[in-house]
Structure 1
Amino acid sequence: MSDPLYSFAPPGVPARPIHVVPEGETDTALASLSGPQRRWAEAQGFTGKLGSHVILPDPEGAPVAVLAGYGTAESRARQRFALAPLATALPAGDYAFHGLDDPAALAEQSLGWLLAGYGFTRYKGTPATPARLQLAPGLDAARLIACAAGEALTRDLINTPANDMGPEELEAAARSLASRFAADITVIRDQDLLAQNFPLIHTVGHASDRRPRLIDLRWGDAGPALTLVGKGVCFDTGGLNLKPGVSMALMKKDMGGAATVLGLAQMIMALGLRLRLRVLIPAVENSVAGGAFRPGDILPSRKGLTVEINNTDAEGRLVLADALALADEESPDLILSMATLTGAARVAVGPDLAPFYATRPEDAAALRAGAVRAADPVWEMPFHAPYEKMIEPGIADLDNAPSGGFAGSITAALFLRRFVEAPRYLHFDIYGWQPSAAPARPKGGAGQGARAVLEALPELLGL
């Protein structure tokens, strides 16, 4: 795995100022410079446009300060982490933001600087050495680093191709995390899944030579109980309803839910939050073989509900169902699942928003507010009760893939909710991928919703 690049300078060291200049306020900023620096900035055509910057030299030509364009309020609303590209664009050295008076904006841009230092170099290249940022007094450095490190773990897990990230390797990643934070971990594998009543996890994964398993991590012995459930389909061929090649190309990311809950768990444990954390990951590979489950099969579940299989490519909700049923048996204060579950969610909101479902409006409101503070956008979707009949095939209790193609994300969420009786359940239908590079977000694996959840936890759980 690649290491996150913690590009923060220790406090007290001399740091080159980055003067953050909104568009329209360049006259004031330029007036504060020496004559040669002002003329240099004017010659560069600096206007404060978002994303622009000018390195200011001393009389010997060495860089001593930076002007960074901060654009307009409208342009900033369209671009998260607008100053993050500076982390890799500036020459090596220590820097500090000046002129960012809004604490929330300062925290966002500082986090963006850290996130921009990520690089996945397991197979090619070497880690870059970004410029270092000196944190302004009052910022919570531990929280920023925990968020960046958790995101780096998520990105690494998703970016790793399936030949090196199967169920066994995902288990190893969870064990490594548990070891770092003195968490307990147990794993149920292969035939033991049947013996301990996880028939759906076993059925989805047993066609692969890479044996299915259920990973169960626990941490903390006081406070409210939070259970995270992440979809760990390490590769999805679609099973016998085989995906076309273009749809299979990104299926290494089908364990993005597992990667995201592990990243969130790392954030929680690194910050030492006072809660009882449980992480459940059904880890499987959905393969094509003689033992693969078939369209038309009717399968039992841990909860006792029967499921008619109308598409073997709707396997994620099956493995989650058994894990959610287990989570529900302890009646934790909050159950939260994350999964790269449906293409319908991407069609609805695109790759940048994390759609979520909530059984309580108060929890949804807390998440929306946390998402704004964390610069981690989410969008609430409805558990629309009139669609319940769409997941009831008549021949079995549930249908894993209702025909017609309507409301695919909602019907998947309703399916999962059938396995949770606890009153407080949140479900995220994430994409887990950045299709093109953006500030602080390189192309590739991406965590979605984790920082929003972390930010909302005090309100969600009374921490």
Structure 2
Amino acid sequence: MAQSALKCLTPAARSRKARTVHALHDAGSDALAALFGAGAAAFVQGNGFAGKRGEVALVPGPEGVAAAVLALGPERPGRRDPLPFGALPQRLPEGDWRVAAPETVAFDDVVLGWCMGAYGFAAEGTQRARRAPARLSVPARKGELGVALAEAVYLGRDLVNAPPNALGPEELAKAARGALSALGAQVTLIKGTALARAYPMLAHVGAGSERGARVVVARWQGSRAGAGAPLLSLVGKGVCFDTGGYDIKPAAGMLKMKKDMGGAALMLALAHVIMARDLPIRLEVRLGCVENSISGAAMRPSDVVRTRSGRTVEIGNTDAEGRLVLCDLLTEACEARPDLLLDAATLTGAARVALGPDLPALFSNDDALAQAILSAGDSWSDPLWRLPLHQEYGDWMRSTIADVSNVSSRPFAGAVTAALFLEIFVTAGTRWAHVDTYAWNDNARFARPEGGETPSLRALFDAILKIFHLTNGSGS
């Protein structure tokens, strides 16, 4: 289906003839001359190299390309930036390369950025040839965190990029089971009448599709985690395709709806890193895998459904299904009294109108938690932007016949009201954060090819380390 292995990496022991990329914060003429000599520096700059962040130049030698230079942009102390390294795999000639970077640059960032830039996806059976990316030479026991993060990015991107005919609720659930169980999690897939009893609202969303809904519930405990270790609960929206239901989307609005399971992909990717790094915590993962389709059995506007929590919800709009998928999962997650609850979803167009495609919207009922995530995003070049849980807007979701409506009565603050709806199903006292993500790159940039994406992955992982006072075990 896709490039799932990190074929862009090679052990240093096997790449003794690797050429060198010099990664520089200051890539001006003096720095280039000091490295390559005045003639080669003049050649590089004469070919248009201006030293802008992510810019790559090849340096000639007697046998062709002898070396290369990568501009990192100005140094910003305390901030990690793997993204410029993503420009290298496609810009360098094929073969093995090593990176010479400033001491302040972690090798994990080199590995992660390189792998992110090397990623490619092709649907199964596609015969279009793709240039093999250049390979990064990796010394033994170096870059292990970068590898874990890169594997997680590939996992998330592969799932979001998969065509909807190849990835329905069952396929998403099985892919999640395979990824989680491979790292030692105990995974249960729930469907049919058992799903309808445990998650009545999620079942109602999926009733219109012939491809039945699935719920993934996984539990894992780190090898160094005792019975009293912190419990982290992750919840993800996995709507494999969203027509909008009877409140049908226009054709243009459906073009990217295979990515409506991007929240589940992000939570699965985050779980992968946590387990691969063997953090000393307890982990629960819940993914709601469903399709919002149209049929005689599909949910209708004005339906009223009783949720797992006992509250009733009036369906004001069938295209506001993501919050309905999450509400029962959040209720169940809170029953275990987690120390931290995170959910992610491609929930609202309003968040994209407010923040654009690159900034996931962050909501939280805990200021310290929100600040930890924002700070981690800033330090990892993986930013989010916090929006408020403005409680007065909660009145906009009143229903005359049910406890709450799934949509607001006013055309404002759509991301805020969606988050307020979710908060209803979070038990008071539970530390909770919600990420409203786009999960997609509209255009290709270094480290971020066009297609599925896992924004906020690095930020959330680093925030978890800080919140639980953990180390990531990275010495590189």
Aligned to 2:385: 379
Check the 8 A contact 2:201/2:324 in 1, yes or no. Answer: yes
Q: What CA distance in whole angstroms lies between the structure 2 residues aligned with 1:182 and 1:456?
A: 23
Check the 8 A contact 1:108/1:374 in 2, yes or no. Answer: no
Check the 8 A contact 2:108/2:144 in 1, yes or no. Answer: no
Q: Gaps spanning 5+ residues in structure 2: where?
A: 471-476
Deviation digits for residues 392-446 of structure 1 (CA, Å, limit 9, x no counterpart): 2232111101122111111111111111114201111111111111111111111
Aligned to 2:426: 420
Aligned to 1:50: 53
Q: What CA distance in whole angstroms lies between the structure 2 residues aligned with 1:426 and 1:164?
A: 31
Aligned to 1:294: 300
Q: What CA distance in whole angstroms lies between the structure 2 residues aligned with 1:367 and 1:438?
A: 24
What is the SS of the residue equivalent to 1:456? helix
Q: Say whether residues 1:120 and 2:128 are aligned partners.
A: no
Match of 1:450 among 453, 457, 470: 457
Q: What CA distance in whole angstroms lies between the structure 2 residues aligned with 1:382 and 1:6?
A: 42
Instruction: Give the CA deviation at 1:295.
Output: 0.9
Instruction: Give the CA deviation at 1:26.
Output: 1.6
Instruction: Give the CA deviation at 1:236.
Output: 0.9
Aligned to 2:474: none
1:63-78 maps to which residues of 2 (within 5 A)?
Answer: 63-72=65-74
Q: Say whether residues 1:396 and 2:402 are aligned partners.
A: yes
Q: Say whether residues 1:237 and 2:243 are aligned partners.
A: yes
Q: What CA distance in whole angstroms lies between the structure 2 residues aligned with 1:208 and 1:108?
A: 42
Check the 8 A contact 2:27/2:71 in 1, yes or no. Answer: no
What is the SS of the residue equivalent to 1:162? coil
Q: What CA distance in whole angstroms lies between the structure 2 residues aligned with 1:438 and 1:247?
A: 24
TM-score by length of 2: 0.90
Q: What CA distance in whole angstroms lies between the structure 2 residues aligned with 1:27 and 1:225?
A: 53
Q: Say whether residues 1:429 and 2:436 are aligned partners.
A: yes
Deviation digits for residues 256-298 of structure 1 (CA, Å, limit 9, x no counterpart): 1111111111111111111111111111111111111111111
* Amino acid paired to 1:308: E
Give the 3 Å change call, closer, same or farther, for CA 47–323 of structure 1 in structure 2: closer
Q: Say whether residues 1:328 and 2:329 are aligned partners.
A: no
- Sequence identity, in percent? 41
Check the 8 A contact 1:108/1:375 in 2, yes or no. Answer: no
Give the 3 Å change call, closer, same or farther, for CA 318–113 of structure 1 in structure 2: same
Q: What CA distance in whole angstroms lies between the structure 2 residues aligned with 1:282 and 1:41?
A: 52
Aligned to 1:162: 164
Instruction: Give the CA deviation at 1:9.
Output: 3.8
Q: Say whether residues 1:439 and 2:446 are aligned partners.
A: yes
Q: What CA distance in whole angstroms lies between the structure 1 residues aligned with 2:182 and 2:101?
A: 38
Q: Gaps spanning 5+ residues in structure 1: where?
A: none
What is the SS of the residue equivalent to 2:198? coil
* Amino acid paired to 1:361: D
Instruction: Give the CA deviation at 1:172.
Output: 1.1
Check the 8 A contact 1:6/1:145 in 2, yes or no. Answer: no
What is the SS of the residue equivalent to 1:415? helix
Give the 3 Å change call, closer, same or farther, for CA 46–189 of structure 1 in structure 2: closer
**Range with bigger deviation, 374-383 or 28-37:** 28-37
Instruction: Give the CA deviation at 1:453.
Output: 0.8
Give the 3 Å change call, closer, same or farther, for CA 340–16 of structure 1 in structure 2: same
* Amino acid paired to 1:449: S
Deviation digits for residues 101-123 of structure 1 (CA, Å, limit 9, x no counterpart): 3235x654442111111100234
Give the 3 Å change call, closer, same or farther, for CA 16–305 of structure 1 in structure 2: same
Give the 3 Å change call, closer, same or farther, for CA 24–269 of structure 1 in structure 2: closer
Aligned to 1:208: 209
Instruction: Give the CA deviation at 1:89.
Output: 0.9
TM-score by length of 1: 0.92
Give the 3 Å change call, closer, same or farther, for CA 71–428 of structure 1 in structure 2: closer
**Range with bigger deviation, 213-222 or 301-310:** 213-222
What is the SS of the residue equivalent to 1:50? coil
Match of 2:100 among 93, 98, 101: 98
Check the 8 A contact 1:97/1:136 in 2, yes or no. Answer: no
Aligned to 1:151: 153
Instruction: Give the CA deviation at 1:135.
Output: 4.9
Instruction: Give the CA deviation at 1:16.
Output: 2.1
Check the 8 A contact 1:353/1:378 in 2, yes or no. Answer: yes
Q: Say whether residues 1:227 and 2:233 are aligned partners.
A: yes
* Amino acid paired to 1:88: Q
What is the SS of the residue equivalent to 1:91? coil
Moved over 6 A (4+): none
What is the SS of the residue equivalent to 1:427? strand
Instruction: Give the CA deviation at 1:333.
Output: 0.8
* Amino acid paired to 1:207: G
